[in-house]
Structure 1
């Protein structure tokens, strides 16, 4: 990154802003298992994938897994049960905004993502928000990163993408973005990013030192 002045810091949601990287396993499956002991986690992933690509709405998702009559109450109950915002994000995001344009780029159901952003009152921290369920592309597809570059008119060499998943980082690097892996625990997966950080404080110092 030293050869390019960074303009955009693009953050993932799950695993970065939110402390849990797999919310289906951590929240959705346990929540629904209490209501239907026979529900299969694999089925949730399959139907969620469709909704997070914009193939159908959150209402369609609940109907597809057998909770048509419970919607929309069950969706409100589920989303209100989710508690995973990284408190340090609120501490450090003002510093980031002083020096960079900050964006959110996340795989999620459009309605769920917007609900959580409003729930935690963090929408205003992002100049641009791209949700897979809204635009029809999911990471690690390069199309979602190309879409970001198109709507912002940003130069990829002046963007740094922060994510916890290696496949997503590789895809962003393919379009020319700089990458930082955000990982809270040790991992045995191959290193592929320019930097690895474990907190927003570490992320801030990497960006600060690299621009100095």
Structure 2
């Protein structure tokens, strides 16, 4: 019987674009190379950037992250200016709030995200849907990122449920496989309608009788 539904944050609850960050930072670069947003995208996001992973695992502070980005790209920018560019990239997916309200009545709902301190502090203030979840499991607090099985186990332990009593939803196939590796029912997110149908079928199947 399903007791817990775990949602990813980025692209599932809130859509976002890293390209918005790249464009914003490029406008403040004093280095010709990094006045091209594509170069910042490649350096920060397209090549498995170690600095992003370290920040999302809480292994470096927000201050150190800002200093590294500022120096790497030759940015003439204040911290408040950087914070605005870094954070204002999100948009709530249409219909997701209604989905959360619908399933919150009968199931524990957790949010499990590879995220960082700046982003999460921002979205929990700006998007009320974030505060409708029963618990948050965040990579920068846990010190580990998806798809490592350990982060899913943290969520199970917090909820006091078994893997087969849980559903996990994520837009990245690698993360879905990570959850499946410990026996969690998992599905790759394509749309709110697709997930609504999946949850209706899966939770109905799990009901006794």
Same fold per superposition (TM over 0.5)? yes
Gaps of 5+ in 2: 30-34
CA contact 2:171–2:190 (8 Å) conserved in 1: yes
Could you tell me how far apart the structure 2 residues matched to 1:155 and 1:208 are?
A: 15
Could you tell me how far apart the structure 2 residues matched to 1:68 and 1:111 are?
A: 20
- Select the structure that is richer in helix: 2
CA contact 2:109–2:134 (8 Å) conserved in 1: yes
Q: Does 1:52 align with 2:56?
A: yes
Gaps of 5+ in 1: 185-196
User: Counterpart of 1:151?
Assistant: 158
Residues 1-212 of structure 1: pairs in structure 2 closer than 5 A: 5-20=1-16, 23-24=17-18, 26-36=19-29, 37=35, 40-45=40-45, 46=49, 47-66=51-70, 67=75, 70-79=78-87, 81-184=88-191, 199-211=194-206
Could you tell me how far apart the structure 1 residues matched to 2:61 and 2:193 are?
A: 34
CA contact 1:88–1:200 (8 Å) conserved in 2: no
Are residues 160 and 92 of structure 1, via their aligned partners in 2, closer, same or farther at CA, if it must alter by over 3 Å? same
Larger Rg computed on CA atoms: 2
Are residues 147 and 204 of structure 1, via their aligned partners in 2, closer, same or farther at CA, if it must alter by over 3 Å? closer
Shift of 1:69: 5.6
RMSD across aligned C-alpha pairs, in angstroms? 2.2
Give TM-score, length-normalised by structure 2.
Answer: 0.82
CA contact 2:111–2:133 (8 Å) conserved in 1: yes
Secondary structure, aligned partner of 1:16:
coil
Give TM-score, length-normalised by structure 1.
Answer: 0.81
Shift of 1:169: 0.8
